[in-house]
Amino acid sequence: MGMESTLIRFILRHSLRQQIGVVILTLVSFPFLYYSLDLPKTIINQAIGGKNLPKEVFGFPVDQVSYLMVLSGLFLLLVFVNGGFKYAINVYKGRLGERMLRRFRYELYVRILRFPLGHFRRVSQGELIPMITAEVEPLGGFIGDAIAQPIFQGGTLLTIVVFMFIQDPILGAAAISLYPIQGYIIPRLQRKVNRLGKERVKAVRKLAEQIGESVSGVQEIRANDNARWQLARFTAQLGVIYDIRFEIFKRKFFVKFLNNFINQLTPFFFYAIGGYLVIQGDLSFGALVAVLAAYKDLASPWKELLDYYQQKEDNRIKYEQIVEQFAPEGMLDEAMIAAEAETVAKLEGNLQTSGLTLIEEDGKAILESVSLTLPLDGLKLAVVGPEGQGKDQLAMILARLILPSSGQIQVGGRDLLVLPVSVTGRRLAYVGPNAYVFSSSLRDNLLFGVMHRPVVGVDYGGDDAAKAARRRREAELAGNSVDDPNADWTDRNEVGASDTAGLLQRLCRLLERVDLETDVYHLGLRGTVDPARRPDIAECLLDARRSLRERLATADLAHLVEAFDRGAYNSNASLAENLVFGTPIGHAFDLEKLTEHPYVIQVLDRAGLTDMLIDTGRKVAETMVELFADLPPDNPFFEQFSFISADDLPEFQALLGRVGRETPSAMKPDDRIRLLALPFKLINARHRLSLIDEALQHRIVEARGIFASNLPEDLKRGIEFFDPERYNAAASLQDNVLFGKLAYGQAQASVRVGQVVTEVLDRMGLRTIVLEVGLDFAVGIGGSRLTQAQRQKLAVARALLRRPDLLILNQSISALDGAAQGKLLTQVLEETDGRAVIWVLSRAQWAKKFQRVIVVKGGRVAEQGSYAELDRPGSALAELLKQD
Amino acid sequence: MSLAEEVALLKSIPLFSKIEPSKLKLLAFTSERLAFDPDQQLFRQGDPGDAAYIVIDGEVSISIDAPNAPTGSIEVAKLGRGAIVGEIAILCDVPRTATVTARGKTVTLRISKDLFFRLIAEFPQIAVEVMRELAHRLENTNLQLREARAAKPH
């Protein structure tokens, strides 16, 4: 289905029936509207004035008052009916417009997915995004009015004109005498506005592009102190837009001015010609007044029609300009991306290319008549060659990501260039050097390659089912996709797993094969698990918690972890953590600002701790002032070590002077609050200030009990208490197993404990569970929370997962260091045993691991054969090896 | 051990003996106290140097790699309470020149490179003391060299 080239065709094709509906609804509303205008006359003349009072209504006798009431009631009814019509028409139009807008956006998006890849070198994100988002927005509003508005307003106009002609043909002619002039001048003026409108759209797109570029290149801008130039460029572009907009503004208002002027001019004819006719006795005075009154009514529909015309022009241009941008040469055939194939035939036989040639737009030949015959069965082919001489493009052509300028590719006798994406995208895999990682979880990114269509639908129950059905129907009406993104899209057959456990196992194995397993394991340790959703995992981890405790004891490492014990003060935790004794959820109990919480103050008062802690706070302040007073305020020690910032230090000095040796109860409330907050950051084992002695510790543990047992219901969601028998949903998996604090001041505590944790989890067979949690890790926008090497490994794993018949890797692990690349290469070749691999290598030396090697140089295949055959003095391969 | 006790100990080390107690308290507060289990290494020869250690309690053994020795290394010294180790690597920006291992349970004060230089920049007294200590060591080395030369038969 191609996209309609003009807006009106688009409207007629997709909404003709609804448009007719709007027109009919509008026409049906007319009589009611007319009657509601007519009724007041009857009320005033008959009911109130008492003239021609009917004796009865619908067979019931009436007097004047009851007749007035009947007519007034009728009037009220008409008000409701008219309002109802207006509402219904607007809703109908709105829905029509929204559906059409939705359809249009969808079609544009489909087109982006069909763009030839080369087009993305010319068109930027910054241009495409505003087109689909902001630029098309007004179209929705216009489409609802597209047909009904001119009919409605035109009809009204015509009625009034006919009325005037009936009153007097000459006056009628006078009333519309200037319309031809308006009809001639205004479109001409409008045309200029339209041209400017086009320019404006282009200028705004350019602005968007520039913003997009600044966002992508912000590091360079800052690193090169280039902001000023960027600002100058931006200003220049704003200037262009300003000029265009101002010009449009002036012209638009000139059109308005001209219209108003001409409209004011017509009465001149009425007075002059009409007056003359009345004096001559050819026209009655009453008729002139009636025509004048009618002419007043004429102004409104005429204005509406002109507005409509301007709007229509605006939207027409917008539509055409957008559609033009979404129709590049060489778009993928729609059938190629939409085709549905249940079972996709295996790619086998020979991969044969003949005369493959690729010529750039500037006429430069990148590849010249490349002809190859490669038996796919277990093919392991290395493609090497100097940078920028065709090896990249060869790989991309074989993956059908770019189309050759001429030449053929056949696989087992089938033409690869016309196979639908459902074949190439499943049987063939390609991984380039900058494979994109989507902003979602690691798991989703891995499964991305096997999500071709929904496999198992979601079983919505009750209300949700109705909601889902309604959504689906709406999507259908707007010509959108009816697939449910919440369905399970994972094609297990393609992965070679029969169930969820098998799938997980396969994912874990692949992570291992691409050397990503340890990384994901550590991400898993830092991840969280919802015990309500996965009680099995939570249970296992609680077991691990107990095992770890035992293991640490037997390995004589128990002193490296101080476990949480409800009855004991934890000297490796801060005072705040000791009091709350749990993981805060959300911001209700921010450990940094604990003393700002009224409930905390209440607990401290009840435990009789407030004054003791204020006194401790005073000691903390004294120590900080003593330690840091001599340091310049910009010294980083403040930030790293001090409890009081450099800015606040003088205030605390003054405060200490003020309170002197006073008891806390004698201090001013403000001073009390400031001092009270200080000791909450104290960690005994770390700070070694000996300010929280055993007596105080004991009191804090008591307060901990008060805090927990009196916690109001609404605050209970703000904290998850430490409980040795319960899984803590708010804490990381690692913290749950550890269930305590790493001891300060023990060399290598974190590494040594980490080793034991891993050992315990592995021995209990929980490694897979940790990996499962790690797979939930959200990778960030464009995979920004992963390293470049991790992203590349992820992309390779993604391609391996679906076991393609032909895997094409194009320098896809180039971010790894040399040794790691060599290791990964071997592992991937092992994993793809029996299936075909074509690997474009950045270093020629690795070609040794492949059965076959081709050297691409200057756009041609310079040599091909086994590594041993090609590695001889003077060969192209030997030269590449020298440069490695 | 509390901060106050650490300060008393630092005071007894020649390098810090002439520095005011309040500065030593800052040093103790901003540096990390680190305990090592028996045979745990503080650092290994060849590692990049990131911190110096002051032995607060226990004893450490200094050894250098010797591929020909039966254990692969030779112990060149034992140092106890109050000794400072690892300062050469952070002062000269060279890799660790020896391996230091805790002999029993050993407690140290770890002074990171950053902190060390900051202290020197902030408190000239410490810089002077460091210079004095280094000059002293150089003088000692010179003395040993002279003695060795004198002892060497011509």
Whether A627 and B37 lie within 8 Å, measured CB to CB:
no
Q: What chain A residue is nearest to B25 in terms of C-alpha separation?
A: A627
pLDDT grade for B76, boundaries at 50, 70 and 90: confident
Indicate if ipTM > 0.90: no
Up-side HSE of residue B9: CA atoms within 13 Å toward CB?
Answer: 21
pLDDT grade for B152, boundaries at 50, 70 and 90: low
Up-side HSE of residue B153: CA atoms within 13 Å toward CB?
Answer: 0
Domain A147-326 fold is ABC transporter transmembrane region fold (1.20.1560)
Whether B29 and A627 lie within 8 Å, measured CB to CB:
yes
Measured between beta carbons, which residues in chain A are less than 8 angstroms from residue B2? Answer: 688-690
Contact A673, A595 (CB under 8 A): yes
| Separation CA A105–CA A319 (nearest Å) | 11
| Separation CA A296–CA A302 (nearest Å) | 11
Give me the pLDDT at residue B153, please: 60
Whether B22 and A636 lie within 8 Å, measured CB to CB:
no
| Separation CA A17–CA A3 (nearest Å) | 19
Establish if A747 touches chain B: CB-CB under 8 angstroms.
Answer: yes
Domain A350-455+783-883 fold is Rossmann fold (3.40.50)
Whether B2 and A748 lie within 8 Å, measured CB to CB:
no
What is A131-181 written as a DSSP string?
Answer: IIIIITHHHHHHHHHTTHHHHHHHHHHHHHHHHHHHH-HHHHHHHTTTHHH
* CATH code at B3-151: 2.60.120.10
Establish if A745 touches chain B: CB-CB under 8 angstroms.
Answer: yes
| Separation CA A131–CA A124 (nearest Å) | 11
| Separation CA A859–CA A127 (nearest Å) | 33
Q: What chain A residue is nearest to B27 in terms of C-alpha separation?
A: A627
Domain boundaries, chain A: 1-118, 147-326, 350-455+783-883, 584-719
DSSP state for residue B49 in the 8-state scheme: P
| Separation CA A713–CA A13 (nearest Å) | 59
Give me the pLDDT at residue A1, please: 46
Extract the residue ranges of chain A whose pLDDT is less than 70.
1-2, 336, 338-343
DSSP state for residue A48 in the 8-state scheme: I
Give me the pLDDT at residue A346, please: 84
Measured between beta carbons, which residues in chain B are less than 8 angstroms from residue A753? Answer: none
Give me the pLDDT at residue A438, please: 93
Identify from B1, B2, B3, B50 which residue to disrupt to test chain A contact, counting A C-beta atoms within 10 A and taking the largest count: B3
The alpha-carbon gap from B113 to the nearest alpha carbon of chain A, in Å, equals: 14
Closest CA to A415 of A463, A352, A364, A478: A352
For the residues B39-59, what does the mean pLDDT come to? 90
Establish if A751 touches chain B: CB-CB under 8 angstroms.
Answer: no
Give me the pLDDT at residue A342, please: 58
Tokens standing for residue A224: 């090169």
| Separation CA A217–CA A235 (nearest Å) | 18
For the residues B102-124, what does the mean pLDDT come to? 86
Measured between beta carbons, which residues in chain B are less than 8 angstroms from residue A744? Answer: 32-33
Radius of gyration of chain B (CA): 17
In DSSP terms, which residues pair with A359 in a beta bridge? A365
| Separation CA B40–CA B101 (nearest Å) | 6
Burial of A319 (0-12, 13-18, 19+ CB in 10 A): buried
Whether B2 and A628 lie within 8 Å, measured CB to CB:
no
Please report, rounded to a whole number, the percentage of residues in chain A having pLDDT higher than 70: 99
CB count in 10 Å sphere of residue A76: 10
End-to-end Cα, chain A, rounded Å: 51
Instruction: Name the phi and psi angles at A828, rounded to 5.
Output: -65, -40
Give me the pLDDT at residue A794, please: 95
Model pLDDT for residues A530-541, shown as the tens digit of each residue: 999 889 889 999
Cβ-nearest to A641 among B29, B34, B37: B29
Give me the pLDDT at residue A106, please: 93
Measured between beta carbons, which residues in chain B are less than 8 angstroms from residue A746? Answer: 34-35
Cβ-nearest to B34 among A628, A635, A747: A747
Contact A132, A105 (CB under 8 A): yes
Give me the pLDDT at residue A340, please: 65
Q: Which long-range contacts (CB under 8 A, 24 or more apart) does A413-421 make?
A: A413/A349, A420/A335, A420/A336, A420/A337, A420/A339, A420/A341, A421/A332, A421/A336, A421/A337, A421/A339
Identify from B25, B26, B110 which residue to disrupt to test chain A contact, counting A C-beta atoms within 10 A and taking the largest count: B26
| Separation CA A813–CA A794 (nearest Å) | 10
Give me the pLDDT at residue A722, please: 94
Whether A689 and B3 lie within 8 Å, measured CB to CB:
yes
